[in-house]
Amino acid sequence: MRLIRARIDASALRSNLQIIRACAPGRRVMAVVKANAYGHGLVGTALALADADAFAVARLEEAMTLREAGLKRRIVLLEGVFNAAQLLEAARLDLDLVVHQDLQLALLEGYPGEQRLRLWLKVDTGMNRLGFRPEQFQAAWQRLSTLSPAPLELRVLTHLACADEEDGLVTAEQLARVRPLVAGLTLEGRGVELSIANSAAILSQPATHAQWVRPGIALYGISPFPGRRGSDFGLKAAMTLESMVIAVRDLPAGERVGYGGSWRAPRPARLAIIAAGYGDGLLRSLGNGAPVVIGGQRVPLVGRVSMDMIAADVSALPGVAVGDRVELWGAALPVEELASAAGTIAYELVCAVSQRVPIEWT
């Protein structure tokens, strides 16, 4: 018997991929499965989304895990490689590499192998995290396009900093910086493919769709926009985080609950103790007042989140018993709503789900 578990709905993932394809018709989809597929389970998610045109991960280990699981599809290593050994390993795993700095150009120029690599030149159009600045682009392109052995494919990508902002002004600026770089650029007589859009841009800014889109959060059914839900876009939440009531107790008025005694019963109260804590990835900012759902009803957490447990005031639900299922987020309680209650974004809540939480596929 499992106490806490993350139930992942493979059909929701597939349906979200369809919604994304409908938003960006004819574009290829690079499904972003970094960070354990945003907490949803790397291999299971990639298998559920086998239909995607490519997968994207942040770290070499993630790509290795996918290949070991038998995934044959294209895998893009978003941060690229950082030394010669990683480059050889990436080539062995047949990965697409993002190239965003001189160090990586030098590694590629020193590549001793025979294999023709698939490369993505990253241009920094305003995020100021990774990528060549627009004025460095030509020189970097020149060095990549004259590598020996020649790249098998060479494409361009950039990342948007403010795609979730309604006015789209920053995005328009970023587009204006990248477009002239690729306009007229050809390789072996063909135009060069470009990738710009993350989830927010896919859902709201068709001008960014280019040839490849890179959805992350939307695949998981979660809205990238503050104040909106995935369901506003027809997306389905893929993860339900659920646990169980492990004790029920009656508390006299005036008693305090949990570490620091941060909640005090204003009246006699009934508490449900639930097997979920920060050891499972729950944020401590979800203490006092954040909701959970028991028997279809919302009840408030009381006291602090501890490592293995939380407490809910179930005075309004006298029938609660040990063994009752508790939804921490899911269909009855959108993770977006909980994220705003915790002063963060839903990305952080799902990514935080820890290794201790078993994933169950449905």
Ligand X SMILES: *Cc1c(COP(=O)(O)O)cnc(C)c1O
Among 16, 171, 198, 208, binds ligand X (CB under 6 A): 198
Residue 358, token pair as written in the block: 């078993």
Among 78, 95, 299, 349, binds ligand X (CB under 6 A): 78
Whether the CB-CB separation of 229 and 336 falls below 8 Å is answered with: yes
Among 41, 221, 224, 277, binds ligand X (CB under 6 A): 224
Among 214, 239, 272, 317, binds ligand X (CB under 6 A): 214
> Does residue 72 have an active-site annotation?
no
Cα–Cα separations (whole angstroms), residue 242 to 21, 185, 297, 332, 359:
30, 51, 14, 11, 11
Among 125, 199, 204, 208, binds ligand X (CB under 6 A): 199
Residue nearest to ligand X (CB): 216
Residue 135: which residues within 8 A CB-CB, separation 6 or more?
none
DSSP letters along 27-44, please? -EEEEE-HHHHHTT-HHH
Whether the CB-CB separation of 177 and 125 falls below 8 Å is answered with: yes
Residue 334 sits in the site that holds ligand X (CB under 6 A): no
Whether the CB-CB separation of 75 and 55 falls below 8 Å is answered with: yes
DSSP 8-state assignment for residue 334: -
Rounded to an integer, what distance in angstroms lies between the CA atom of residue 45 and that of residue 42? 5
Which 3 state secondary structure label does DSSP give 192?
A: coil
Residue 32 sits in the site that holds ligand X (CB under 6 A): yes
Among 217, 237, 309, 328, binds ligand X (CB under 6 A): 217
Nearer to ligand X, 178 or 293 (CB): 178
Q: How far is the CB of 46 from ligand X (least distance, A)?
A: 15
* Residue 118 CA to its chain's centroid (Å): 24
Among 126, 151, 215, 221, binds ligand X (CB under 6 A): 215
Residue 240 sits in the site that holds ligand X (CB under 6 A): no
> Does residue 259 have an active-site annotation?
yes
Q: How far is the CB of 307 from ligand X (least distance, A)?
A: 29
Q: How far is the CB of 58 from ligand X (least distance, A)?
A: 7
Q: How far is the CB of 344 from ligand X (least distance, A)?
A: 15
Residues between 119 and 178 that touch ligand X (CB under 6 A) = 159
Rounded to an integer, what distance in angstroms lies between the CA atom of residue 134 and that of residue 123? 6
Rounded to an integer, what distance in angstroms lies between the CA atom of residue 275 and that of residue 322? 11
Q: How many residues bind ligand X (CB under 6 A)?
A: 12
Rounded to an integer, what distance in angstroms lies between the CA atom of residue 198 and that of residue 32? 9
Q: How far is the CB of 195 from ligand X (least distance, A)?
A: 8
Nearer to ligand X, 202 or 299 (CB): 202
Rounded to an integer, what distance in angstroms lies between the CA atom of residue 72 and that of residue 61? 16
What stretches of 183-316 show up as alpha helix (H) in DSSP? 199-204
Piece in contact with ligand X (CB under 6 A), picked from 39-47, 60-68, 210-218, 309-317: 210-218
Residue 248, token pair as written in the block: 């029920």
Residue 66, token pair as written in the block: 């996918």
Nearer to ligand X, 81 or 218 (CB): 218
Pairing of β 239-251 and β 269-274: antiparallel
**Residue-level length of the chain:** 362
Q: How far is the CB of 289 from ligand X (least distance, A)?
A: 28
Q: How far is the CB of 86 from ligand X (least distance, A)?
A: 18
Given the residues 72, 111, 122, 259, select the one marked as catalytic.
Answer: 259
Piece in contact with ligand X (CB under 6 A), picked from 47-55, 104-112, 214-222, 286-294: 214-222
For residue 115, report the phi and psi dihedrals to the nearest 5 degrees.
Answer: -70, 135
**Which positions are annotated as active-site residues?**
34, 259
| Contact residues for ligand X, defined by CB under 6 A | 32, 34, 78, 159, 198-199, 214-218, 224
